[in-house]
């Protein structure tokens, strides 16, 4: 018998135990890779210090709008607006259901002193003259000046506190006031209106709107 043939070794891949070692090494490698992938998925809620704060910027106020006719829902968003008359002039506001000026389509029209409020809805047409229109959220309503409050429209509870006020006529003509539950300017929302030639006391509650002209309130 050839001694060299006896010493010749069998190939490694034919050994059964070699395949077991390969299987175990593969399992260890796969398990290590899965652990690495899991560790990279960090729950951001678990560590608030690593969360980058997001700065929320307030919306930019809409610019003032001057004289013109505007379609609500197209040129103008629905909502409540503050209208300021040009200095030393009466402002004018017209709110209609249609563009054409027909009596049956008029919701509200009036000349006003100093300032007023109006609420408009989609599909309506708003016309202003000698005035500037801004959203009511940005309204800066003038208050008492040297103990006197000039004519205009005031939101009770926001622009002036609720309470009893006395209106004094300021011209040879009669003064006029009305109190409403909204700035929609429909008859159903008006709870009191009156012309007066002598001082008159009015009771105002939160949420109401007081409009007066040719008159003033004195402290």
Shared domain check, 159 and 216:
yes
Residue 35 is encoded by which pair of tokens?
Answer: 């652990």
- Domain, as residue range, for 81: 62-140
Separation of alpha carbons 98 and 90, rounded Å: 24
Provide the whole-model pTM. 0.71
pLDDT in tens, 96-144: 999 888 889 999 999 999 999 999 999 999 999 999 999 999 999 999 9
DSSP symbol at 1: -
Is 60 a residue whose pLDDT tops 60? no
Give the span between the Cα atoms of 18 and 57, in whole angstroms. 66
**Highest mean pLDDT, choosing among 43-47, 56-60, 69-73:** 69-73
Residue 197 lies in a domain: yes
Same domain, residue pair 102 and 154: no
Tell me whether residue 51 is in a domain.
no
> Is there a single domain that holds both residue 113 and residue 146?
no
215 inside domain: yes
Total domains, the chain:
2
Residue 30 has pLDDT above 60, yes or no: no
Distance CA 95, CA 28 (A): 80
């Amino acid at each position: 018998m050839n001694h060299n043939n006896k010493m010749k070794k069998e190939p490694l891949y034919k050994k059964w135990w070699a395949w077991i070692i390969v299987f175990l090494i593969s399992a260890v490698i796969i398990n290590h890779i899965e652990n690495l992938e899991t560790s990279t998925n960090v729950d951001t809620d678990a560590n608030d210090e690593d969360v980058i704060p997001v700065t929320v910027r307030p919306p930019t106020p809409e610019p003032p709008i001057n004289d013109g006719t505007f379609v609500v829902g197209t040129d103008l968003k629905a909502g409540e607006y503050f209208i300021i008359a040009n200095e030393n002039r009466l402002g004018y506001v017209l709110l209609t259901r249609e563009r054409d000026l027909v009596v049956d389509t008029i919701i509200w029209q009036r000349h006003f002193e100093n300032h007023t409020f109006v609420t408009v809805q989609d599909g309506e047409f708003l016309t202003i003259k000698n005035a500037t229109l801004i959203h009511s959220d940005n309204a800066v309503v003038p208050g008492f000046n040297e103990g006197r409050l000039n004519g205009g429209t005031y939101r009770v509870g926001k622009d002036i506190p609720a309470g009893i006020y006395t209106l004094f006529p300021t011209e040879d003509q009669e003064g006029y006031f009305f109190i409403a539950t909204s700035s929609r300017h429909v008859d159903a929302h008006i709870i009191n209106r009156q012309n007066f030639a002598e001082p008159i006391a009015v009771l105002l509650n939160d949420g109401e709107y007081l409009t007066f002209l040719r008159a003033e309130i004195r402290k």
